[in-house]
A and B are shown apart, each in its own frame.
Chain A
Amino acid sequence: MSSASMPEGSSSVAVQRVREHIVEFVCDSGEGAQTAGQLLGTVAAKSGHGVWTVEIIPAEIEPPVRSRAGASGNRVRMGRDAVTNMGDGADVVVAFNEQVLYSRIDVGAFKRGTVILLERKWAEDQSQVVRAAYADAIVEFGKVGYDVVEVPMEAECMRVVEDPRRGKNIWALGMVTWLYDLDVATVETELGKKLRSKGEDVVARSLELLSAGYSWAAGHLRFRYRVDCAPRDEARVVMNGNEALALGTMAAGIEVCSMYPITPATSVSHYLARSLKNVGGFVHQAEDEISAMGFAVGAAYAGKTPVTVTSGPGLALKSEFIGLAVMAELPLVIIDVQRGGPSTGLPTRVEQGDLLTALFGQPGDTPKIVIAPSTIEECFHDVVLARKLAETFRGPVILLSDANLATGQQPFRRPVPNEAWLSPPVDRCDWDPQVPPFAWDPETGLSSRPIPGQTGGAHVVTGLAHDERSRVAYESPVNQRAIAARSRKLATLFKSLRAPAIHGADHGELLVVGWGSTRGAIEEAVDRIRADGGAVSSVHLRFLSPLEPGLADIFRRFERVMTVEVNYSDDADDPTVPKEARRYAQLAWLLRARTLCDVECWSRVPGMPLPPGTIETELRARLDAVGVSSARSEGPPQGRGASA
């Protein structure tokens, strides 16, 4: 099949131009909606759009079919400008059954006017129960204001293939390709790349299905969209956060990744398992999280800056070795792709619950650097940064990503790798035996170290309290001096940091402070309120330990300061919680301690990213409560009647 065989779209359908749209594919697990969504995301990025994709992940590997809990798929938000988060209600949803839609409705994924392209085969199912459920859903969805379009997906697929369960996703992608007037040749190229490993037959059949879906849409759909496109002349790449962390690891010249499988971090190692050897490194899958960390500690001691990749439960297990890495001042990078906690928690879901653990998770005083990327692009660059910080400040650096960044795809400027990022960590010349292995500079706490094999440098690294020569020392003044030296390194880094940039005006009614993956949603909410004249700004922190300087000065320029976070806090007005017993969100806790400002917080643990609309509503309520107008302007009309 060639793209020339694609029929021209029915000329009687007017194409509506939109500034941005959100499309979801949802189905039972294993029906390929994630593949379709990822392909749409890639094609949209290739077409020059800003894109953000979010995976819709069921909790189980094979949940029962047609179940609310089984929803699997992908959300693609594509726009003219850069897209920084998953957005609010979807514009178009492709669903392979009606049951999976309920779980999406429960989390507020749709809005009035959402177009649902729904597989209609259930209307003629053998089971009366299924037929009734389908009919009920159609009525119910109509009442809520969704615009349901029944599509005979499986029947149409069967014109091309015998088993429609294999390939229905590609047929649906063909339908969406027509619906958004996407370049067919680009879709075909990406489809070919994606399925290449499955053989020529599969690729050929998929191209047929794509074409069939496209033709059906052209012949039957009475609406069509085109998302505006801004011209771009820079080379861009599109990937998810875990892929960006993996590529960042390679670009940082890290040769050793030691890990133990844990959701949602494992895909970083999956990528590295295939590719780290291409840059001369290797991935060690250890027998447990503790050993993965110990292996990294050993590699760091031997002169290689390693990375270990984990999530909350793994971070807990690594704690003892993290303490040792601080004590022995060994440079290594710990990537924590956070998930819902505590304990096993919500393995596939989003939370920012490990901040305080990262900072304070070890017994004793364990100062260490903690940074958090807030975009996919930062996931890449922050590994390079983390490695440099680990070596310069001679200790572990924790990088806090989360499940939102892990699976979200976003295009960004293609990085230009630099040989300086790869340079070996230490000089291997002879060591002057007069220089102790911990020659702590009294002002900075910094020192350099001899590594095994370096002539003249033999010494014993120990987790016991030790002096400059690394000799076990129980004397009080030595212990005070050594702990102060390790702490001083954070003050030294702090002095080199700049105050964070303020998004919006540098003074006003309300300042929102965030960290990590919430950046895009917070800034979009702030922009919407500012567009209506609300005096809201935001600040997003990349350095959590040490915190960025100048925060108290910035906070004083606003009437109110609050954090927005995806971790637990008691609501201020909760009647069951006495004011003095109120537990704050984690960053708020930290900021209150560090700035002595009355930093408020609003946080939720929905297991998913906070949509900008939800944040917007909360911020407007805060402004309204103190009598400051944040009048919501009339939003653009929604649904398929909308035009930009």
Chain B
Amino acid sequence: MTKLPKAWYMDGRLRHLALADYEGTTPRWCPGCGDHAALATVQRLLRDEQIPPDQAVVVSGIGCSSRFPHYIHTYGFHGLHGRPLPIAEGVRARRPDLHLFVVTGDGDCCAIGTAHWIHSIRYNMKMTVMLFDNNIYGLTKMQTSPTTPKGGRSNTHPEGAPLSPLNPLSITLSIANVSFVAQTADWVPAHFASIVKRAHAHPGLAFIRVLQRCPHYMDHHWEPIQSDPRRQLLLFHPEGVPAQANDQRAFPERLEHDPSDLARAREVASRTDVWPLGVLYRNPCAERYDLDTAVGLGMSGADKLAALERELTQFEV
């Protein structure tokens, strides 16, 4: 009997995956909300990379953006306010095989979940973390967030936010063992897609801050930024997002920025006159805690029993 070459065999379950394969329930975000763009971007990434829905996990906290897992067809975990990162770390610890995404918001990450944010950067376990930053609490109806601009009116500060906002980029870039920091915006879909693609390929924790419109509560804040290209600074570099042919038209303000330069990244991040868009920092050689936590996977039952007997013998009397 003649044998077919192995490469000719095909697993009957394998087929080309289309965008429809990643559709969850119908999104219920407000019309014009930046979350819609984010959802489409991640779905396209999964389609482009042909990642089976069952091999991807999206973990989120609580807030408007954290509804994300319900609207994408993958494994999802819609957890607790501020705490998606510890859950994602627990998933990653013993599952190097999964494609792992974390969706969080400015209240979730930069207020109630701050401790986890700081330490997750240091752990640098492989995952793509997207901070959807609309500068306001939306789900609970317009309260001040840590990134709300000073003077911004909200239901908790009707006279205007009393303090200047914190800068998530500067904070992340100052944490030991930071390995990937980027910023994009929901209204530049091609840029968003290239950032997510780089982040997903990054060997470690990739932190993306997504500037995101909230047409319902913060339109007055975001509309001027979105519509004035001079307030956005495009970062380009072969190691980050490379320069594109039509950049010049969309982004009059551009800066060649080497993402291996941490000091420059911190400078760029702290600029208040423009919103930098691009990869600020990237270090593919940073220490990865998930390589430690996965040690011992697949040890046989017989080996475990033998080790256990040795442990017990130490206590024998």
B residues near A411, Cβ cutoff 8 Å: 317
Residue contact A417 to B93, C-beta cutoff 8 Å: no
B271 at the A interface (CB under 8 A): no
Residue pair A458, B90 in contact (C-beta under 8 Å): no
Q: Is the C-beta of A14 less than 8 angstroms from some C-beta in chain B? A: no
Return the contact of A280 from the options B53, B79, B118, B296 (Cβ within 8 A): B296
| A-chain residues with CB within 8 Å of residue B77 when the two chains form the complex | 298, 301, 328, 460-462
- A302 contacts B by Cβ under 8 Å: yes
Residue of A256, A278, A464 near B93 (CB, 8 A) is A256
Q: List 18 A-B contacts (CB under 8 A).
A: A235-B316, A238-B317, A250-B307, A278-B310, A287-B116, A287-B118, A290-B115, A294-B80, A295-B90, A300-B90, A304-B94, A422-B304, A455-B13, A455-B52, A458-B53, A458-B73, A458-B76, A460-B77
Q: Are B90 and A296 in contact (CB under 8 A)?
A: yes
| A461 lies within 8 A of B307 (CB) | no
Q: Which of B87, B308, B309 has the most chain A CB atoms closer than 10 A to its own CB?
A: B87
Interface centre among B76, B119, B295 (most CB of A within 10 A): B76
Q: Other CB < 8 Å A-B pairs besides A280-B297, A324-B79, 10 of them?
A: A275-B311, A292-B86, A293-B86, A294-B116, A297-B90, A321-B80, A321-B83, A452-B91, A460-B76, A460-B78
Do A287 and B115 touch across chains, with their CB atoms under 8 A apart?
yes
Interface string of A448-459 (1 = CB under 8 A from B): 000011111111
| A302 in contact with B95 given A250-B311, A291-B115, A453-B55 (CB within 8 Å) | yes
Interface centre among A247, A288, A297 (most CB of B within 10 A): A297
Nearest A residue (CB) for B316? A237
Contact A454 B90 (CB under 8 A): no
Give chain B interface residues in 58-88, CB to chain A under 8 Å: 59, 69-70, 73-80, 83, 85-88
Is B5 in contact with chain A by the CB < 8 A criterion?
A: no
Asked if B292 lies at the interface with its beta carbon under 8 angstroms from chain A, I say yes
Q: Is there contact, CB below 8 Å, between B78 and A461?
A: yes
What residues of chain B lie closer than 8 Å to A288, measured between beta carbons? 115
Q: Residue B24 at the A interface, CB < 8 A?
A: yes
**Cβ–Cβ contact A278 & B311, under 8 A:** yes
> What residues of B have a CB within 8 angstroms of the CB of A42 in the complex?
317
Q: Which of B87-139 contact A (CB under 8 A)?
A: 87-95, 97-98, 115-116, 118-119
Q: In this assembly, does B245 line the interface, its C-beta being within 8 Å of a C-beta of chain A?
A: no
In the complex, are the beta carbons of B24 and A460 less than 8 A apart? Answer: yes
Instruction: Say which residue of A45, A251, A282, A459 sits within 8 Å of B293 (CB atoms).
Output: A282
Which of B54, B90, B305, B308 touches A256 (beta carbons < 8 Å)?
A: B90
A277 within 8 A of B: yes
Q: What chain B residues lie within 8 Å of A287 (beta carbons)?
A: 115-116, 118-119
Tell me if B25 counts as interface (CB < 8 A to partner A): yes
B285 located at the interface, meaning its Cβ lies under 8 Å from any Cβ of chain A in the complex = no
> Least Cβ distance of A330 to chain B in Å?
10
Minimum distance in angstroms from B310 CB to a CB of chain A: 8
> Which of B55, B89, B297 interacts with A295 by CB under 8 Å?
B89
Is A256's CB under 8 angstroms from B315's CB?
Answer: no
A471 within 8 A of B: yes
Given contacts A294-B87, A298-B93, contact A277 B69 (CB under 8 A): no
Please report which residues of chain A, range 218-238, place their CB below 8 angstroms from some CB of chain B when the two chains form the complex: 235-238
CB-based contact A284/B95 at 8 Å = no
The interface centre, meaning the residue of A275, A282, A297, A458 with most chain B CB atoms within 10 A of its CB, is: A458
Is B173 an interface position by the 8 A CB rule?
A: no
How many residues of chain A have a CB within 8 Å of chain B? 69
Q: Complex: how many Å from CA A225 to CA B54?
A: 70
In angstroms, Cα B303 to Cα A235, docked, is 22
B:280-317 near A, CB below 8 Å: 292-293, 295-299, 301-305, 307-312, 315-317
Task: Kindly provide the distance from the CB of A465 to the nearest chain B CB, expressed in whole angstroms.
Answer: 12
Is B38 in contact with chain A by the CB < 8 A criterion?
no
B57 within 8 A of partner (CB) = yes
Known contacts: A298-B86, A301-B90, A422-B305. The answer to whether A459 contacts B316 by CB under 8 A is no
A294 contacts across to B, CB distance below 8 A: 79-80, 83, 85-87, 89-90, 116
Taking CB atoms, residues of chain B closer than 8 Å to A281 are: 296
Residues of A within 8 A of B76 (CB): 458-461
Tell me the smallest distance from the CB of B287 to a CB of chain A, in Å: 15
Tell me if B83 and A419 are in contact (CB < 8 A).
no
Count chain B CB atoms within 10 A of each CB in A280, A282, A296, A328 and give the residue with the most.
A280
Identify the 6 closest CB pairs spanning chains A and B, nearest first.
A298-B90, A294-B86, A280-B299, A280-B296, A460-B76, A298-B87
Closest to B83 in A: A294
Contacts of B298 in A (CB 8 A): 280
B150: shortest Cβ distance to chain A, in Å? 30
Which chain B residues in 31-63 approach chain A with CB under 8 Å?
52-55, 57, 59
Assuming A294-B90, A299-B90, is B308 touching A458 (CB within 8 A)? no
By a CB distance below 8 angstroms, the chain A residues around B85 are 291, 294
Pair A247/B86 contact, Cβ less than 8 Å:
no
Interface check A85, CB cutoff 8 A: no
B90 touches A277 (CB 8 A): no
Contact of A298 among B88, B301, B305, B312 (CB under 8 A): B88
Given contacts A296-B90, A301-B91, contact A414 B305 (CB under 8 A): no
Output the nearest chain B residue to A323 by Cβ-Cβ distance. Answer: B80
Bound CA span A377–B233, Å: 65
User: Which of chain A's residues 299-338 have a Cβ closer than 8 Å to chain B?
Assistant: 299-304, 306, 320-321, 324, 328
Given A237-B316, A415-B312; A282-B295 close (CB under 8 Å): yes
Cβ contacts under 8 Å, B308 to chain A: 247, 250-251, 279, 417
Select A452's contact among B24, B75, B79, B317, beta carbons within 8 Å: B75
CB distance from A222 to the nearest CB of B (A): 31
